Amino acid sequence: MIKPLQRAAEESRTPRAGTDAVLTKLSELLFVEALRSYLETVPEHERSWLVGLRDPHVSRALGLMHADPARQWTVDDLGREAGLSRSALADRFTLLIGEPPMQYLTRWRLALGARALKEGSEPVLHVAQRVGYESEAAFNRAFKREFGMPPATWRRHSR
């Protein structure tokens, strides 16, 4: 089998029908291989979401939160869907990621909200709802705690 980099070089030199699709898939393959390689060399004591991907249960919980961040998740829900008890998931998640599941979810939601504010012109309320906050006030409080300023101010400064 030809290695992905060699195949990409061949495709680039002699473009044919489907070259763009082949190069896209090869780049995805290279990305996955790079992540795998990194995960195999991460020290046992390091904590991050990438380390959490090593564990099938924590990885499943991460996938669920990333796929539907606006869902009103509980640790019970995540544990049930990941195949662990609430307490077992919370313990494993915290051990591997370095923070509890709901704290991680809050930071993920706020990161998504910050990106939406920076890249778009959608009202703050709509951004808040899209990332899982029921009210603009709750989003404002959490955003200010994380970023040191309210979302509207942050949006003006980030542009």
Residue with structure tokens 């003006």? Answer: 156
Residues above pLDDT 70, as percent of the chain: 97
Q: How many angstroms from the chain centroid is the CA of residue 56?
A: 16
Q: What is the mean pLDDT of the chain?
A: 89
Which pLDDT score is estimated for 4?
A: 67
Same fold, 49-99 and 104-158: yes
Q: Which CATH class is domain 104-158?
A: mainly alpha
Domain ranges of the chain: 4-41, 49-99, 104-158
Fold of the domain built from segment(s) 49-99: Arc Repressor Mutant, subunit A (1.10.10)
- Confidence band (pLDDT; 50, 70, 90) for 1? very low
Write the pLDDT tens digit of every residue in 22-33.
888 888 888 888
Whole-number Å distance between alpha carbons of 47 and 78: 20
Q: Residue 96: count other Cβ atoms within 10 Å of its Cβ.
A: 21
Residue 1, Cβ density class (10 Å: 0-12 exposed, 13-18 middle, ≥19 buried):
exposed
Write the pLDDT tens digit of every residue in 113-138.
999 999 999 999 999 999 999 999 99
Q: Are 149 and 157 in contact (CB under 8 A)?
A: yes
Which pLDDT score is estimated for 144?
A: 97
In the predicted structure, residue 15 carries a pLDDT above the cut 50: yes
In the predicted structure, residue 97 carries a pLDDT above the cut 80: yes
The long-range contacts involving 148-156, CB below 8 angstroms and separated by at least 24 positions, are: 151/113, 151/114, 151/117, 151/124, 151/127, 152/124, 154/114, 154/117, 155/117, 155/118, 155/124
